């Protein structure tokens, strides 16, 4: 009887942990009519439009385009960001290049105030941190270039309590980094390109509590 009771308690604990660690989708943009009314990307720098099921950036001359979306990211949880981007056309020596700012304190600033930026360019994956709108490279991985005319799926898992960050490219873990002074809240997301016409096919955010 005691063994059965102990087994029942263990099963309940395991199920509780599984429920507790569930990833909850808090934001989803597929750039279609089925999107929530809360999906609104404000094209600030560059030529942006929602067209053909994607967020399309046409600008191939600007080195820091910006379309911004309001989204609260608050609490010492794990936030998961995933997007699919297609590099449609390169316009300069630094392209193709595009990425996503997250945990942004100011989506309208040059480097989005305090934020992180995951970025893929012509040769590598790069992770940046912006502090008081000053951008600094904190990690990079060569040999993972943005495919000119092709697509990439980028996923970031960020633990705002520990500062641990994992960056995946097409399902492969390519960057691991820990911020000793982690950003614990943000108010915006922002897409960014460098002299590249792109299409963001989707952008999703989960939280794991």
Q: Which two tokens stand for residue 18?
A: 């599984």
Average pLDDT value for the chain: 92
**CB 206 within 8 Å of CB 24:** yes
Residue 6 maps to a domain:
no
Mean pLDDT of 179-190: 98
Which residues constitute the domain of residue 196? 25-208
The H-assigned helical ranges of 2-130 are 2-20
Res 184 pLDDT > 90? yes
Start-to-end CA span in the chain (Å): 35
Residue 104 maps to a domain:
yes
Residue 18 maps to a domain:
no
Q: Which two tokens stand for residue 12?
A: 């309940």
pLDDT at residue number 9:
34
Residue 12 maps to a domain:
no
**Position 94 confidence tier, pLDDT thresholds 50, 70, 90:** confident
Q: In percent, how much of the chain has pLDDT > 70?
A: 90
Which of 209, 190, 206, 203 lies closest to 103 in space, CA to CA?
190
- The angle formed by the CA atoms of residues 10, 11 and 16, to the nearest 5 degrees, is 95
Structural domain count of the chain: 1
**CB 155 within 8 Å of CB 80:** yes
Residue 11 maps to a domain:
no
CATH for 37: 2.60.120.560
Residue 158 maps to a domain:
yes
**CB 81 within 8 Å of CB 100:** yes
Which of 27, 135, 139 lies closest to 80 in space, CA to CA?
27
pTM, to two decimals: 0.90
How many residues would you count in the chain?
209
Q: Which two tokens stand for residue 190?
A: 């922002």
Residue 194 maps to a domain:
yes
Residue 142 maps to a domain:
yes
Compute the distance between CA of residue 178 and CA of residue 106 in angstroms, rounded to an integer.
Answer: 22
The H-assigned helical ranges of the chain are 2-20
């Amino acid at each position: 009887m005691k063994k059965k009771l102990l087994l029942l308690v263990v099963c309940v604990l395991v199920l509780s942990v599984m429920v507790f660690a569930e990833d909850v989708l808090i934001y989803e943009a597929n750039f279609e009519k089925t999107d929530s009314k809360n999906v609104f990307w404000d094209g600030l720098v560059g030529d942006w439009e929602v067209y053909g099921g994607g967020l399309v950036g046409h600008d191939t001359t600007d080195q820091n385009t910006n379309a911004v979306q309001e989204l609260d990211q608050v609490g010492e949880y794990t936030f998961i960001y995933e997007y699919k981007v297609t590099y449609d056309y390169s316009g300069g020596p630094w392209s193709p290049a595009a990425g996503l700012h997250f945990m942004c304190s100011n989506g309208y600033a040059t480097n989005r105030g305090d934020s992180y930026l995951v970025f893929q360019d012509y040769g590598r994956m790069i992770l940046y941190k912006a502090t008081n709108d000053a951008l600094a490279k904190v990690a990079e991985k060569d040999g993972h270039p943005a495919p000119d005319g092709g697509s990439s799926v980028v996923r970031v898992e960020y633990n705002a309590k520990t500062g641990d960050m994992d960056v995946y490219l097409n399902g492969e873990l390519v960057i691991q980094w820990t911020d000793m002074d982690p950003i614990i809240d943000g108010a915006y997301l922002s897409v960014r390109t460098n002299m590249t016409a792109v299409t963001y096919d989707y952008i999703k955010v989960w939280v794991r509590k």
